[in-house]
Amino acid sequence: MTKRNSLLAGLVAGVAATILAGSAGAQTVEITYWQYFLKEKEAIVNELIAEFEKQNPGIKVKHETFPYANYGTKVAASVPAGVGPDVINLFYGWIPQYLKGGYLQPLPEKDFPAAEIEKDYFPLVQAAKVDGKYYALPTAVRSLALFYNKDLFAKAGIANPPATIEEYLAYAQKMTEKDGSGNITVAGTAVQPSGQGIHYIREVLFRQWGVTPYSADNKKVTYNTPAGAEAFQWYLDLIQKHKVGFPGFMTDDVTAFRSGKAAMNIDGSFRLAALNAQAGLNYGVAELPSRNGVKSNFASFWANGITASTKGAKLDASVKFLKFLNSEETMKQWLTKVGELPAKKSVALTEENTKNPLYGPFIRGLDYAHATYFIDESGQRQVIMDAVDDAIASKRSAKDAVKNMADAEQALLDEFYGK
Amino acid sequence: MRLSLDHMTIRQRQALTAYIFLAIPAVFYSVIRFYPALESFYLSLTKWNIVSPTKQWVGLANYQRLFKDPVFWKVLGNTFEYVAIGLPTTLILSFLVAYYLDKVKFGQGMLRAMYFLPHIASAVAMAWVWRWLYQPPPIGLFNNILTQLGIGGQPFLTSTVQAIPAITAPVVWAGMGFNIVIFLAGLKAIPESYYEAARIDGASNFQILRRITLPLLKPTVLFLAIINTIQLLRIFDQVYNMTQDGLGGPLNSTKPIVLHIYHSAFHKFDMGYASAATVVLFGILMLITLIQMKVLGKKS
């Protein structure tokens, strides 16, 4: 009897131990988070994960980063291999492509109600909304502004940055310096389609000429109009007629502005950190110049989404982590530590932020910013770069250049939407 | 069993050992290179955007698209332009340098090392150095010199006409070191007695060059022509690093076929189309190699 009893007791103990061990295992859920490598972003996410794990003892977050240059390829290649993450940071312009491949799942409506998102966030995040559902949300966003070199402004006797595009052109002409052979030695403004120039043309100039670049459903190109051609001509004139700068001057716009060889440049908020680190550069930031009182801006963002294969406890953990990444507290830290602008209005539009001499113009710009709905980011980018190159190389009129550009971009849209 | 180790002759055992050693690279090549290469033949018959779980069978549709695509014909033309400019230039220059280098005795090793240096330098770093040399004033060295000479600046990389020769220059320059060394080896392999006999018969330097040196260098020329053609047909690094955003611009004027494949596959995720272009490139490389072997390799 005693022998049997002890056997039974041993059995019970064994089963209990197994159950206990099993339940302890089930309590810890590990999820994986992917983003591209940027020193500041990696550091802040590591800090955030430590904080998140303290608040949620049962969840472990594995954080992996990849080089920026081939992040898109890495993510894409991981999908068919089935080795992707649970929560992923994607450029918003890639979302339609990834949705087509069934890579992302919509954010649960009960945790991220669309109505609330649209109340709290800047309207540009709607670029992450497809068929009424949000698939990703950004912690931070970026917009454009005019960077100007204060020393070159002082040298030319100009007190304030340009408020209108007429002033922008006049100041650029005044500050352009040339050598004896007519070569530009200091550009009045950097003109670089491959930088932010393409966005400036598409979302700022077109709109300032009263042209909405795409139809409401984003399936039709609508900028091939006389006003669109006029806007494009204005940009070409900077290069060809007024000769205040040209693409590739000093290799690119960022180098030209950093080295004090361009008096102005239109660039993104993500450039602030690099420019602040540039010794001897005395620069300021202003809102993009308006035209006839019309202001416009381009904004873009990297957003966090949840992959389609994430289910059950991992999905719950991923939702919690996503909420944490999109909390107001995180956004505040993100602004000071990474330098990207908060995606929620309540965090961004504080008096301290809007009056900040560096962030302020970008944050004020968010109110009237548009995020292009990309379906093929690199293709839609090359279309505009080619239009500018082609207009310059073959002396094509702005009217024909815009027509070719619209045809080429329409072909990309048709291909994507399967026409 | 006949094949058990005890029953094998020493010769058989040696052969077995050799095959075991040879199997390692063979397996490696099969898994890492041949299998993916074969896979691309299959992919070229499908429509697949890399993120989608399914590959849709489309037959030859990708090839039809390819042959109707003006960009494909443009990049194919560009690719052959690189060969047409690069191959004769590199062979002639390398031969001239090797020919005269072979004649000097003092400092030959030093000179040979100097010519070889660009070949071992990183192609990416060299591409960027040349990119800066080609910049418009005030920072481009070439343009600054031209301006001072009163010739006026040239657009170089920003011109749709000048860009291909401008990119070919650093390719030729970097490849010369290797070509010179191979030419030198070829020249040194020609027995001195042939030259002595020719001189005794009163042949001029030019006659010696034409009747002895060049015919005996034929295998070297064949080898270098094939190697350089293949390298130029596969040009990528220099174009990727010397053009804006690595796009092969302006207006696709410098884009070679490999860069087009890369963009189609890894920017547009159009894997089927990219694979079809790869298969076409494979066919071209194969064909050109066979033609060169036939033409240049003919026994005289």
Query: What distance in Å separates the CA atoms of residue A361 and residue A61, rounded to the nearest whole number?
Result: 36
Q: Which two tokens stand for residue B252?
A: 């696709």
Q: B158 CB near a chain A CB, below 8 Å?
A: yes
Alpha helices in B69-189 (DSSP H): 70-103, 108-120, 123-133, 141-148, 163-188
Per-residue model confidence (pLDDT) at position A72: 83
Query: What distance in Å separates the CA atoms of residue B36 and residue B6, rounded to the nearest whole number?
Result: 40
Return the closest-CA partner of residue A284 out of A362, A395, A370. A362
Average pLDDT score, chain B: 90
The reply to whether residue A251 touches residue B266, judged by beta carbons under 8 angstroms, is no
Q: What is the DSSP letter of B212?
A: I
Q: Which two tokens stand for residue A32?
A: 């994986």
Q: What is the pLDDT of residues B187-202, one digit of tens each?
A: 999 999 999 999 999 9
B-chain residue closest to A376, CA distance: B268
- Which member of B49, B132, B250 has the closest CB to residue A393? B250
- The C-alpha R_g of chain B, in whole angstroms, comes to 25
Q: A416 CB near a chain B CB, below 8 Å?
A: no
Q: Which two tokens stand for residue A201?
A: 């043309």
DSSP codes joined into one string, B62-74? HHHHHHH-HHHHH
Kindly report the nearest CA distance between residue B128 and chain A, in angstroms: 11
* Beta-strand pair A341-342/A136-149: antiparallel
B-chain residue closest to A84, CA distance: B51
Query: Which residues from chain A sit within 8 angstroms of residue B159, using beta carbons?
Result: 393
Q: A378 CB near a chain B CB, below 8 Å?
A: yes
- Which member of A77, A379, A389 has the closest CB to residue B50? A77
Helix, strand, coil percent values for chain B (each to nearest 5): 75, 0, 25
Kindly report the nearest CA distance between residue A247 and chain B, in angstroms: 9
Per-residue model confidence (pLDDT) at position A73: 82
Q: A194 CB near a chain B CB, below 8 Å?
A: yes
- The C-alpha R_g of chain A, in whole angstroms, comes to 26
Instruction: Confirm if A267 and A253 have CB atoms less than 8 A apart.
Output: yes
Q: A77 CB near a chain B CB, below 8 Å?
A: yes
Question: What number is the ipTM of this complex?
Answer: 0.78
Q: Which residue has the tokens 């058989």?
A: B12
What residues 197-226 of chain A have any CB closer than 8 A to a CB of chain B? none
Mutation for B interface: A66, A70, A71, A73, most B CBs within 10 A:
A73
The reply to whether residue B50 touches residue A80, judged by beta carbons under 8 angstroms, is yes
Q: Which two tokens stand for residue A297?
A: 């801006």
A-chain residue closest to B144, CA distance: A183
Query: Which residues from chain B sit within 8 angstroms of residue A70, using beta carbons?
Result: 266
Kindly report the nearest CA distance between residue B270 and chain A, in angstroms: 11
Alpha helices in A28-140 (DSSP H): 39-55, 71-81, 95-100, 114-120
Per-residue model confidence (pLDDT) at position B128: 93
The reply to whether residue B136 touches residue A248, judged by beta carbons under 8 angstroms, is yes
The reply to whether residue B131 touches residue A103, judged by beta carbons under 8 angstroms, is no
Tens digit of pLDDT at every position of chain A (419 positions): 445 555 555 555 555 544 444 444 457 999 999 999 988 899 999 999 999 999 999 999 999 999 988 888 888 888 767 778 999 999 998 888 888 778 889 999 999 999 999 999 998 898 899 888 999 999 999 999 999 999 999 999 999 999 999 999 999 999 999 988 888 999 999 999 998 999 999 999 999 999 999 999 899 999 999 999 999 999 999 999 999 999 989 989 999 999 999 999 999 998 988 898 888 999 999 999 999 999 999 999 999 999 988 889 999 999 999 999 999 999 999 988 888 899 999 999 999 999 999 999 999 999 899 999 998 888 899 999 999 999 998 888 999 999 999 999 999 999 888 86
Q: A102 CB near a chain B CB, below 8 Å?
A: yes
Query: What distance in Å separates the CA atoms of residue A274 and residue A253, rounded to the nearest whole number?
Result: 13
The reply to whether residue B250 touches residue A249, judged by beta carbons under 8 angstroms, is no
Kindly report the nearest CA distance between residue A404 and chain B, in angstroms: 13
Straight-line distance from the first to the last Cα atom of chain B, in angstroms, rounded to the nearest whole number: 51
Mutation for A interface: B74, B269, B270, B271, most A CBs within 10 A:
B269
Return the closest-CA partner of residue B244 out of A149, A198, A200, A407. A198
Query: Which residues from chain A sit within 8 angstroms of residue B252, using beta carbons?
Result: 386
Q: What is the DSSP letter of B255?
A: -
Query: Which residues from chain B sit within 8 angstroms of residue A247, using beta carbons?
Result: 158, 244
Query: Which residues from chain A sit within 8 angstroms of residue B251, using beta carbons?
Result: 386, 389-390, 393
Q: Which residue has the tokens 């539009």?
A: A349
- Which member of A80, A181, A248 has the closest CB to residue B152? A181
Q: Which residue has the tokens 């591409």?
A: B127
Query: Which residues from chain A sit within 8 angstroms of residue B138, using beta carbons?
Result: 179, 183, 185, 261
Per-residue model confidence (pLDDT) at position A7: 52
Per-residue model confidence (pLDDT) at position B54: 81
The reply to whether residue A385 touches residue B139, judged by beta carbons under 8 angstroms, is no
The amino acid at residue A277 is: A
Query: Which residues from chain B sit within 8 angstroms of residue A376, using beta carbons?
Result: 268
Per-residue model confidence (pLDDT) at position A70: 81
Per-residue model confidence (pLDDT) at position B300: 46
Listed in sequence order, the residues at least 6 apart from A235 whose beta carbon sits closer than 8 Å to its beta carbon are A191, A197, A200, A201, A205, A388
Query: What distance in Å separates the CA atoms of residue A43 and residue B273, rounded to the nearest whole number?
Result: 40
Length of chain A: 419
Q: Where are the domains of chain B?
A: 2-43, 63-299
- The fourth-level CATH superfamily of domain B63-299 is MetI-like (1.10.3720.10)
Kindly report the nearest CA distance between residue A73 and chain B, in angstroms: 6
Query: What distance in Å separates the CA atoms of residue A211 and residue A207, rounded to the nearest whole number?
Result: 5
Kindly report the nearest CA distance between residue B244 and chain A, in angstroms: 7
**In terms of C-beta distances under 8 Å and separation of at least 24 residues, what long-range contacts does A222-226 make, across chains too?**
A223/A402, A223/A406, A224/A402, A224/A403, A224/A405, A224/A406, A224/A407, A226/A399
Mutation for A interface: B39, B48, B50, B51, most A CBs within 10 A:
B51
The reply to whether residue B53 touches residue A101, judged by beta carbons under 8 angstroms, is yes
DSSP codes joined into one string, A71-84? HHHHHHHHHHHT--
Q: What is the pLDDT of residues B1-29, one digit of tens each?
A: 455 667 788 898 899 999 999 999 999 98
CA B94 to chain centre: 15
Q: B153 CB near a chain A CB, below 8 Å?
A: yes
Q: B255 CB near a chain A CB, below 8 Å?
A: no
Per-residue model confidence (pLDDT) at position A20: 46
Per-residue model confidence (pLDDT) at position B297: 65
The amino acid at residue A165 is: I
The reply to whether residue A98 touches residue B136, judged by beta carbons under 8 angstroms, is no
Query: Which residues from chain A sit within 8 angstroms of residue B155, using beta carbons?
Result: none
Per-residue model confidence (pLDDT) at position A5: 56
Instruction: Confirm if B78 and B163 have CB atoms less than 8 A apart.
Output: no
Q: Give yes or no for a cis peptide into A161 (omega within 30° of 0).
A: no
Q: B269 CB near a chain A CB, below 8 Å?
A: yes
Kindly report the nearest CA distance between residue B44 and chain A, in angstroms: 17
- Which member of A102, A179, A376 has the closest CB to residue B53? A102
Per-residue model confidence (pLDDT) at position A69: 80
Higher pLDDT, B93 or B55: B93
Per-residue model confidence (pLDDT) at position B299: 54
Provide the angle, in degrees to the nearest 10, between the axes of the packed helices B257-266 and B70-103: 130
